[in-house]
Amino acid sequence: MKKKKVLLISSSGGHLAQLLNLKPLFDKYEYHLVTEALPYNEKLKEKYKVSFLLPGGRNNGLKYIFIMLKNIFKSMRIFLREKPDVVITTGAHTAVPMCYIAKLFGKKVIYIESFAKVKTPNLSGKIIYPIADLFIVQWPELLKFYPKAKYLGGGIY
C-alpha cells in the first residue's frame, strides 16, 4: 500500500525547529519539507527532501506584499509537484498560502500552534484556524481563542 504524502511547512527559526520535532513522522509517511531559503537552512538539503520559499517578515512593508505574491505562486508549484494528502504546519506567514491551496484542492490541513504562544494567538493561526481540519494548541489558555482546537495536555513533542 502506498504511503500517504505529508507536506510539512513552516517559516524558519523556532517554527521550523518545532516542525522538525515531528521527525518520527518522516519514516511513517512520504514527506516533503518546505521552509524559507536562508543560508542556515541550506544544510537541510543534506538530510531532508526540502523546497524553499522566499524569506521575508511582515515588517518589510510593500516588499513583503511582493514576496508573499511570489511565494503564493511558488507554493502552488510545489503543491502541484508534490501532490500531498495532508499539509502540517507550525506556522508563520510562509505557511498560510500553502494551507489555503491545500484546502482548495480538498486536502487536509493540520496546524500546530507554537509552543511559545501561551496566552495570545499567532497571526498565522488566526488566519488558518477557519480552514484547519485539526488545530492543536499546546496551552489550555489558547482554547478561548480557538474553541474547536485540541489541547493534548502540554507540549506535543
The three three-digit cell numbers of residue 56, written as one number: 521575508
Query: What's CA 120's distance to the chain center, in Å?
Result: 19
- Distance in angstroms (rounded) separating the CA atoms of residues 146 and 5: 27
Asked whether residue 156 is assigned to any structural domain, the reply reads no
* pLDDT classification of 88: cutoffs 50, 70, 90: very high
Q: Supply the range of the domain harboring residue 25.
A: 5-151
- CATH classification of the domain holding 141: 3.40.50.2000
Q: Is 56 left (phi over 0), alpha (psi -120 to 50) or beta?
A: left
Asked whether residue 157 is assigned to any structural domain, the reply reads no
pLDDT in tens, 8-53: 999 999 899 999 999 998 889 999 999 999 999 999 999 999 999 9
Asked whether residue 96 is assigned to any structural domain, the reply reads yes
Domains held by the chain: number: 1
Asked whether residue 119 is assigned to any structural domain, the reply reads yes
Contacts 24+ apart (CB under 8 A), 150-157: 155/115, 156/112, 157/18, 157/21, 157/22, 157/115
- Distance in angstroms (rounded) separating the CA atoms of residues 126 and 55: 21
